[in-house]
């Protein structure tokens, strides 16, 4: 019986599902493992042999993106329902949130790979030929040691092998003056340059040792291809060291 003048509160009846939380977390981690295995297995099996193969790869990646996006949305709805029923604690909520973020990170990486393959195999840019795509620097084992990863690509209509050499110079300050070191001075292998040969793209890795007292500011990359249609490219990158 309602008392006249008193405030009435609406009650929500939520089904008691004690094992739903465990099932949801199990499903999350299972999908992460399966999704990661599928991505790795797919990357191993597929190659960049023809344009048709890359187009098929792009289409399949897009299907995986669609499925993963649908899974993330479904998980968000489940979490919202469990929060409403008060059947999930803060620790479980954090675990689900981390899982969703991991899935979203994998989706972003797949999208980036799809754009990269499409750009290499199906070029739609005016400037074609050899390209210095990107540079990544990370700490290595040892004092002042860094691992360099350089990505070279070839944007052409007909993919034939391109070869040549890459020279690396480090620009910065030492003893209050500007100083430049070549790859010969920096590399563990004491190389003057690094050779490359590829049809579509190539990752070039090298380990550098920065001299004591030297403060690097720029990395200068010079790529010189050989042959009838030789090219010489120069590109400067800011000195930025990523995490582990």
Q: Let me know whether 170 and 88 are in one domain.
A: no
Is the model more confident about 94 or about 220? 220
Say how far apart CA 171 and CA 215 lie, in whole Å. Answer: 8
Confidence of residue 30 (pLDDT cuts 50, 70, 90): low
Could you tell me if 109 and 171 lie in one domain? no
The candidate with the shortest Cα–Cα distance to 169, out of 242, 218, 226, 211, is 218
Q: Residues near 20 by Cβ (< 8 Å), separated by ≥ 6?
A: 82, 87
pLDDT band with cut points at 50, 70 and 90 for residue 126: low
Confidence band, pLDDT 50/70/90 cuts, at residue 48? very low
Looking at 46-186, list the stretches that DSSP marks H as alpha helix, in order from N- to C-terminal side: 51-85, 90-121, 183-186
More confident residue, 156 or 23: 156
136 lies in the same domain as 100: no
Segment 211-222 mean pLDDT: 93
Final residue in a domain of this structure, among 121, 138, 155: 121
- The pLDDT mean for the chain works out to 76
Residue 99 is predicted with a pLDDT of 81
Would you say residue 24 has pLDDT above 60? yes
We report the CATH number of the domain holding residue 89 as: 1.10.132
85 lies in the same domain as 160: no
Q: What is the pLDDT of residue 7?
A: 55
Q: How confident is the model at residue 152 (pLDDT cuts 50, 70, 90)?
A: very high
Q: Which of 38-52, 114-128, 193-207 shows the lowest mean pLDDT across its residues?
A: 38-52
On whether residue 12 sits in a domain, the answer given is no
The pLDDT score that the predictor gives to residue 94 is 74
pLDDT value at residue 106: 78
Region 40-49: what's the mean pLDDT?
Answer: 52
Q: Within this chain, do residues 87 and 145 fall inside the same structural domain, yes or no?
A: no
pLDDT on residue 88: 55
* Sheet strand arrangement including 201-209: 129-139, 145-155, 201-209
Give, rounded to a whole angstrom, the gap between the first and last alpha carbons of the chain: 65
Whether 79 and 136 map to the same domain: the answer is no
- Overall domain count for the chain: 2
Which of 32-36, 147-151, 164-168, 175-179 has the lowest average pLDDT? 32-36
Residue 47, pLDDT above cutoff 50: no
**Owning domain of residue 50:** 20-121
- 164 and 93 in a common domain: no
């Amino acid at each position: 019986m309602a008392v006249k003048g008193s405030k009435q509160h609406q009650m929500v009846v939520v089904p008691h599902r004690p094992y739903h939380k465990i099932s949801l977390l199990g499903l999350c981690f299972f999908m992460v493992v399966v999704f990661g295995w599928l991505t790795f297995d797919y990357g191993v099996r597929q190659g960049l042999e023809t344009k048709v193969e890359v187009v098929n790869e792009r289409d399949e990646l897009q299907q995986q993106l669609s499925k993963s996006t649908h899974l993330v949305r479904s998980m968000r709805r489940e979490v919202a329902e469990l929060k409403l029923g008060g059947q999930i604690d803060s620790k479980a909520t954090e675990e689900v949130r981390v899982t969703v973020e991991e899935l979203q990170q994998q989706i972003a990486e797949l999208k980036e790979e799809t754009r990269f393959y499409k750009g290499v195999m199906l070029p739609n840019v005016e400037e074609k030929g050899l390209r210095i795509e990107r540079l990544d620097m990370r700490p290595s084992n040892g004092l002042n040691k860094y691992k360099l990863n350089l990505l070279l690509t070839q944007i052409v209509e007909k993919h034939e092998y391109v070869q040549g050499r890459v020279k690396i110079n480090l620009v910065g300050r030492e003893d209050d003056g500007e100083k430049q070191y070549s790859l010969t001075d920096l590399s563990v292998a004491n190389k003057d340059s690094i050779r490359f040969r590829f049809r579509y793209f190539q990752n070039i890795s090298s380990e550098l040792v920065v001299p004591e007292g030297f403060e690097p500011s720029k990395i200068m990359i010079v790529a010189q291809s050989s042959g009838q249609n030789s090219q010489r490219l120069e590109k400067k990158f800011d000195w930025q060291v990523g995490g582990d």
